[in-house]
Amino acid sequence: MKIKAPVSKNEQLDVSIMDLTYQGMGVAKVDDFPLFIENALPGEELTIQVTKVAKNYGFARAIAWKSESPDRVKDVDKTYRQTGIASLQHLTYPAQLKFKQHQIAELFSKAHQDVEVAPTLGMENPTQYRNKAQVPVRMIKGQLETGFYRQHSHDLIPLTDFYIQDPAIDAAIIKVRDLLRQFEIPAYNEISDKGVLRNIMVRRGYYSHEMMIVLISRTQKIPSQAQLVDQIHKALPEVTSIVLNVNAKKTNVIMGNVTRVLYGKPTIEDTLMGLTFAISARSFYQVNPQQTEKLYQMAIDKAGLTGEETVIDAYCGIGTISLALAKHAKQVYGVDIVPEAIEDAKVNAQKNHLTNVDFFVDKAEDQMIQWQAAGVKPDIVVVDPPRKGLAETLIESTAKMGPKKVVYVSCNPATLVRDVQHFQDLGYVIDGPIQPVDQFPQTPHVESVTVLVKK
């Protein structure tokens, strides 16, 4: 017997918002059937219209508010919500920090885990923090535009102020856009797979103020390339690197495999935790350096290093955590799957005169199995995986190596809960409260540090 949903498409209802989803949408229930509503906050009473009904849930849009939450921010720019750039901007910042703490606590609670989650570490100025931008370039009404896609679509909304980005980066994008117009360089057309320029990426050192402009092109060369490059570095004195990245594939992946330096150096430099890092066009580097310092310091403090330990840093990227750990440990091993990241990591070790760290190119889970087979005995393992979390084989080989502590830096509470349960099955327990860090203010994302110790 098919159970019919208690609501139907286009139906209008009065509801109370009871919670927020991990994506920051309001949740209302009609006969235990959840409806997800954008721009709605817990405690609000509103009239909604149902827009979509699936088997176990539905979506609706707010039509009118009968009561508003005291945590609601008025006068927000709806463009930032439409593009997903700042989908929590309508929630006051203290309430955003509470939401992130609650999000982690709730997921552990659903998994029947009794854990303490500390208050989220926030920022003094929770805007203009991003040190990297990747913006699409498209033609709109015959004019080249830069901006951001409307959520769940490829409709470009032109934007000049990205709200959560370093204002110097926003200004640089406008300068580059104007020069592209001046030289009449055709923007990429996704439908016909024609045109030239697909995206502009800008990176800027938070402390160094060095700037890199990456032009992502469908073609091996950009028309008027030499003149364009000359004008970019004349217009933007902070630019120390201009790079061409070629992506000729019909794909949603932003960057291709071919990268050529058109002006200056192949990397920019910045400092983090008193260390100098070279950052190339394709290397991963945390986008919020102020909060990254808090996050990594937290990981180092929780590792409790005395200078005698052997440490493994899985998913090491360009060596940011590895090198910070190396200052306090006897020996550090880092592994990452991206060859360019490991090249950068080795350069960064030399730059900082750190000789007690070795880097390897491999999948973290495969390298851990090799280290385990070779009898490597780490005292501490630090993991900072992508959103999909840890591979089961990595958790198993870590447990077999038997480190005293595992320090888990997570960017996805759902996979953190799953992985922690796996570690618990293998004899590890959570030690102390989980510490959330607000790495991405105005968005629902949250990073956290969890310590697991061997029973």
Number of H helices, E strands in the chain: 10, 23
Would you state the structure tokens that stand for residue 3, as one six-digit string?
């159970």
Round to whole Å and give the CA distance between 446 and 131: 18
For residue 411, indicate whether it is catalytic. Answer: yes
* C-alpha distance across the termini of the chain, in Å: 49
Q: Judging by DSSP bridges, how do beta strands 143-149 and 156-158 pair with one another?
A: antiparallel
389 vs 82: CA distance, rounded Å: 28
Q: Which helix (H) or strand (E) holds 59?
A: strand 58-67
Do residues 288 and 129 lie in contact, with contact meaning Cβ atoms separated by under 8 Å?
Answer: yes
Distances (CA, A) of 106 to 402, 413, 421: 30, 10, 15
SS3 349: helix
Q: Which residues contact 39 (CB under 8 A, 6 or more apart)?
A: 26, 62, 81, 90
Phi, psi of 410 (to 5 degrees): -120, 145
Catalytic-labelled residue, pool 411, 434, 446, 449: 411
The CA angle 109-110-111, to the nearest 5 degrees, is 85
DSSP 121-171: B--SS-SS-BSEEEEEEEEETTEEEEEEEPTTS--EEE-S--SSB-HHHHH
Q: Hunting for tokens 């080249």 — which residue is that?
A: 144
The residues, any chain, with a CB within 8 Å of residue 110's CB and separated by 6 or more, are none
Query: Which amino acid, 106?
Result: E
Neighbours of 110 (CB within 10 A): 10
Neighbours of 354 (CB within 10 A): 18
* 116 vs 369: CA distance, rounded Å: 32
Active-site residues, by number, are 411
